[in-house]
């Protein structure tokens, strides 16, 4: 048992050493330098993330309708797989949105204001959570969950389309 564990530890430690070497080798072969990566635009992943967010929110709200729940079954493996897949794609979409936005903020904020800017952004995003929970709670008291999520998905769709159309018009984010 000890031998197997020590072999696994050695393999794990070897990966810590070899992975950066392989990454440097692959970057040197593709000509992808730090300067080139730094100058890339961030709008493409942002647009992909917004599109994926719209699709996954519509799919998530669709999974909550009673006819879909009856068809798939609430406690079945099929429903779990669909729900897990949609939530995974939703997490990917959020990551594809957050990273370009943080990159944009870092590029366009002077160094002396960087900590203030990120503390304000963090306060808005984390402080908005209780407000969102309050709004969802009030809405869910008055309407079924599938209608609330459908309305939120349509609202998110409209906001995303408006944002993406304004993003395509301006070159400031590109």
Which 3-state string (H, E, C) describes 41-105? Answer: CCHHHHHHHHHHHHHHHHHHHHHCCHHHHHHHCCCCHHHHHHHHHHHHHHHHHHHHHHHHHHHHH
DSSP 40: S
Checking if the pLDDT of 6 tops 50, the result is no
Closest Cα to residue 98, out of 159, 50, 54? 50
For residue 47, the model assigns a pLDDT of 87
Stronger pLDDT, 74 or 124, i.e. the higher one:
124
Checking if the pLDDT of 55 tops 50, the result is yes
Confidence of residue 10 (pLDDT cuts 50, 70, 90): very low
Give residues with Cβ within 8 angstroms of 87, minimum separation 6.
60
- The alpha carbons of the chain give a radius of gyration, in whole angstroms, of 22
Rounded CA-CA distance 147/139 in Å is 10
In terms of Cβ atoms closer than 10 Å to its own Cβ (0-12, 13-18, 19+), residue 57 is buried
Stronger pLDDT, 4 or 170, i.e. the higher one:
170
Q: Per-residue pLDDT averaged across 103-110, rounded?
A: 87
Closest Cα to residue 90, out of 50, 42, 133? 50
Stronger pLDDT, 39 or 129, i.e. the higher one:
129
Cβ atoms of 103 and 42 within 8 Å: the answer is yes
Name, of 8-12, 90-94, 103-107, 164-168, the range with top average pLDDT: 90-94
Stronger pLDDT, 21 or 65, i.e. the higher one:
65
Confidence of residue 5 (pLDDT cuts 50, 70, 90): very low
pTM, full prediction? 0.68
Q: Per-residue pLDDT averaged across 15-35, rounded?
A: 53
Tokens of 168: 């395509």
CA 24 to chain centre: 27
């Amino acid at each position: 048992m000890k031998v197997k564990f020590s072999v696994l530890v050695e393999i794990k430690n070897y990966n810590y050493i070899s992975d950066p070497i392989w990454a440097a080798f692959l970057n040197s072969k593709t000509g992808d330098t730090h300067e080139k990566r730094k100058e890339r635009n961030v709008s493409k992943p942002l647009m992909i993330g917004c599109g994926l967010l719209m699709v996954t929110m519509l799919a998530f709200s669709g999974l909550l309708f009673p006819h879909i729940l009856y068809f798939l079954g609430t406690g079945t493996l099929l429903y779990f797989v669909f729900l897990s897949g949609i939530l995974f794609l939703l997490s990917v979409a959020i990551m594809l949105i957050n990273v370009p936005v943080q990159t944009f903020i870092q590029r366009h904020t002077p160094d002396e204001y960087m900590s203030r800017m990120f503390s304000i952004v963090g306060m808005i995003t984390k402080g908005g959570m209780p407000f969102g929970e309050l709004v969802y709670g009030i809405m869910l008291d008055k309407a079924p969950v599938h209608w609330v999520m459908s309305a939120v998905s349509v609202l998110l769709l409209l906001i995303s389309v408006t944002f993406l159309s304004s993003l395509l018009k301006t070159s400031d984010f590109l």
